[in-house]
């Protein structure tokens, strides 16, 4: 009985820790553009990612992180669901040390309306300005 109780308590914890962030090494990430902020404190990266095996995914997104930090392709600025398509032709431009501009095309079909409506407005004190293009 004690063994079963221990499995019920610790099993999910062990399973979850094994899953962790393994996608950092198994996803295939293609950096399309990477630019440091004018003062060199932050890095913005436009990238394409694919992974997930047989039930795969492929998407474009943008990451904003401190200089020296590893790119985390699931910490994107665009979209509600981080492994969904919905954005393309992404360009990034630093306006100054505290303002970043991101322009992109987005899927306007009804299936993507909710997903594409979510964007991060500010991160690390950087204000993010978005421009949806045709």
pLDDT for position 60: 97
**CA angle 82–87–88, rounded 5-degree value:** 130
DSSP 132: E
Calculate mean pLDDT across residues 17-37: 77
Alpha-carbon gap, residue 48 to 30, rounded angstroms:
5
Q: Do residues 51 and 28 lie in contact, with contact meaning Cβ atoms separated by under 8 Å?
A: yes
Count up the domains in the chain and report the number. 1
- Band (53; pLDDT cuts 50, 70, 90): confident
Domain assignment present for 88: yes
Q: Is residue 7 part of a domain?
A: no
Contact 33, 13 (CB under 8 A): no
pLDDT at 50: 94
Q: Would 29 be classed as within a structural domain?
A: yes
Residue 12 maps to a domain = no
Q: Which has the higher per-residue pLDDT, 9 or 131?
A: 131
**Domain limits at 101?**
23-132
* Residue 32 placed within a domain: yes
pLDDT digits over 32-44, tens only? Answer: 999 999 999 999 9
Give, for 31, the enclosing helix (H) or strand (E): strand 28-36
Query: In the structure, what pLDDT confidence band is assigned to residue 18 with cuts at 50, 70 and 90?
Result: very low
Does the global pTM surpass 0.85? no
Percent of the chain topping pLDDT 70: 81
Quickly list DSSP for 58-124.
Answer: EEEEEEEEETTSPP-TTS-SB-SSTT---EEEEEEEEEETTEEEEEEEE--SGGGHHHHT-B--EET
What's the CA gap between 64 and 126, in Å, rounded?
9
């Amino acid at each position: 009985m004690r063994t079963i109780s221990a499995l019920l308590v610790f099993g999910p914890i062990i399973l979850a820790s094994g899953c962790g962030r393994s996608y950092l090494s198994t996803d295939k990430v293609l950096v399309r553009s990477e630019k440091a902020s004018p003062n060199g404190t932050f890095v913005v990266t436009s990238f394409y990612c694919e992974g997930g095996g047989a039930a795969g995914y492929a998407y474009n997104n943008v990451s904003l992180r401190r200089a020296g930090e590893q790119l985390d392709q699931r910490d994107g600025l665009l979209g509600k669901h981080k492994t969904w398509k919905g954005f393309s032709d992404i360009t990034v431009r630093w306006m100054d040390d505290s303002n970043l501009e991101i322009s992109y095309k987005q899927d306007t079909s009804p299936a993507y309306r909710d997903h594409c409506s979510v964007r991060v407005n500010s991160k690390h004190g950087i204000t993010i300005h978005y421009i949806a293009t045709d």
